[in-house]
Amino acid sequence: MVDDPSGHQRPITGHEGALARCARHDRRVTAALDDLLVILDLEAIELNTFRGFSPAKEGTIRVFGGQVAGQALVAAGRTVASLDGPPRLVHSLHAYFLRPGDPQIPILYQVDRIRDGRSFATRRVTAIQHGEAIFSLSASFHVAEEGVNHQAPMPDAPDPETLDDWQSRLAPSIDNDGEPLERPKAIDMRPVDEPIRVRPDEAVRAPRYRVWFRANGKLPDDPLLHACVVAYASDLTLLDTTMLPHGLIWEGRGSQASLDHAMWFHRPFRADDWLLYDQQSPSASGARGLATGTIFTRDGTLVVSVVQEGLIRTARQGRV
C-alpha cells in the first residue's frame, strides 16, 4: 500500500512502483516532483479504467486543469503501450473542461479505444466524478516516421540561469506571509517577462508572456511521462496572457476558468531540461479569451504547440 498525495491509501501498481523507486532513490527528484509523479501514475482498476487522486492542499476548491489533462493522457497512453509493433508516441490531444473537479475524491478515467492502426492509434478519455463527466480528452498516437521538416524560430530570451524563479519574482509584491510561495514546486519556472498575477494595480500590457520551465528534478526515461509533465505545466500560465491587455489579475478584479485545451507534440524533448514557453493571446471577446503557446528546447527546437480558450469574467460579471 502507498499513501497517495490526497492522504488515502491504495495498492502500488507495477508501473507506479518503478516510478516511485526511481523518484525516491534519486536525490535529484524533489519531494514536490515526487508527489507529481505519483499523481500522474494512475491505478488500473479494470480494463481501460483507471483511478487518479488529487494532492491534499488546504483551501483548494477545484482540481487543477493541468492535473486532469496529464492524468487523462496517462490513461490514454497506458492502453497504447501494450500494442504490438513500434512505439506509438502522442502527437496531439484535444480536451474540454466540462465541470470543476472535486479534489476531495478520486477521479475515474474511462478509455475508449477508438482506433488501432498500423501507424496511428486514437483514444478518447472521459474523467468522471459523482457520476458525471468533468473532462473529456481525445488523443492520437503515431509511429515515428521521416518527412519534411520546418519550424518557426525561437524568440530571443535570456538564459534561464540568469533569471530568478517564479517565487522570488513574486515575493516582493505579495502582502501576506508568503507561505504558499515558499512551498516546493514540481515545476521550476523562470519568468522572462514580469510575472502575471503580481499586483492589484496590474498595468495594461501587451498579451505576451515568456517563461522558462522544467521539472524540478530528474525524470525517468519515459516519453509519455515527459509529455504528461509538459501537459500539466502548459496550463499553469497560458490563460493569464488573455488578461494582460485589460489590467486584470488572477484574483480580485477578474476570474478565469479553462474551457478547452489542445496540444501538438512535434519533436522529442525532455521535460526535465529547460523549455521556453512563448505565450500570446490573439483575441478575447464574449467573456472568452484565446491563448496560444509555443514551446522550444534550449537549442531553439520547436517541440510543442498549445492553444487554449478560457472563460474570463470581471468582477461586474460575477464569479466563474
Element (H, E) at 138: strand 132-143
Question: Do 220 and 293 fall into the same domain?
Answer: yes
Question: Do 185 and 293 fall into the same domain?
Answer: yes
Residue 240 lies in a domain: yes
Question: Do 219 and 133 fall into the same domain?
Answer: no
Question: Do 183 and 276 fall into the same domain?
Answer: yes
Residue 148 lies in a domain: no
Q: Quickly state the pLDDT bin for 316 (edges 50, 70, 90).
A: low
Residue 131 lies in a domain: yes
Domain that holds residue 260: 158-320
Residue 100 lies in a domain: yes
Cα→Cα distances 12→7, 9, 37, 160, Å:
14, 9, 13, 37
Q: Quickly state the pLDDT bin for 171 (edges 50, 70, 90).
A: low
Cα→Cα distances 311→66, 149, 201, 209, Å:
16, 35, 22, 19
What percent of the chain lies above the pLDDT cut of 90? 65
Chain CA centroid to CA 131, Å? 25
Question: Do 121 and 168 fall into the same domain?
Answer: no
C-alpha Rg value of the chain to the nearest Å: 19
Residue 260 lies in a domain: yes
Task: Give catalytic residues, as residue numbers.
Answer: 235, 258, 308
CATH of the domain at 168: 2.40.160.210
Single pTM value for the model: 0.86
Question: Do 115 and 166 fall into the same domain?
Answer: no
Residue 52 lies in a domain: yes
